Amino acid sequence: MAYDEHLGERIRKILDSKKVGFFEKKMMGGLIFMVNEKMCCGIHIDKKYGDSLLMARIGVEAYETEIEKEVCLPMDFTGRAMKGYIFIIPDGFDMDSDLEYWIEKALEFNRTLQ
C-alpha cells in the first residue's frame, strides 16, 4: 500500500499558499515534508489502522491538548509514544480547512526550532 498521493498534493498546495520553503523525503513507505531542514509533517501508512495518516510535529505543549481529540493518535513506532509528534486519522483532515489547521500547527512549532 502506497501513501495517499492526493493527500501529498493537498499538503503541497497548503505549504505553497503559505510561501513556505520545503522539500520532501520518502521514509518508511511514507512521505515527509521538511521545513527549515526539520521534519514538519507527512503521510504515514499505518498497517494496523489500514489507511494513510497525517503526521504533524506540533511540539510537546500542543501535543498535550491535541492528543485528546478523537481524530488524533499518538505517534508510536516502538510501543512508546513520541511526544510532540501526532497522527491524525482521515476524518481529521478530510476538509481542507482541517488539513490547513494541522499544517499550521506543525509550522508554528517549526518556527520555534533553530
Kindly report the average pLDDT of the chain as a whole number.
92
pLDDT digits (tens, 9 = 90+) for 25-43: 998 778 999 999 999 999 9
Closest CA to 88 of 103, 77, 78: 103
Q: What's the pLDDT at 1?
A: 52
Determine the number of helices (DSSP H) and then strands (DSSP E) in the chain: 3, 6
- Which residue type, as a one-letter code, is found at position 114? Q
Give mean pLDDT, residues 77-83. 80
pLDDT digits (tens, 9 = 90+) for 59-75: 999 999 999 999 999 99
Give mean pLDDT, residues 65-92. 91
Contact between residue 58 and residue 105 where contact means Cβ atoms under 8 Å apart: yes
Domains parsed from the chain with CATH numbers: 5-112 (3.90.1150.30)
Cell output for 108? 508554528
Give mean pLDDT, residues 76-102. 91
Provide DSSP, 31-45.
Answer: EEEEETTEEEEEEEE
Contact between residue 43 and residue 5 where contact means Cβ atoms under 8 Å apart: no
pLDDT digits (tens, 9 = 90+) for 7-29: 999 999 999 999 999 999 998 77
The whole model's pTM is what?
0.92
Residue 48 has pLDDT above 80, yes or no: no
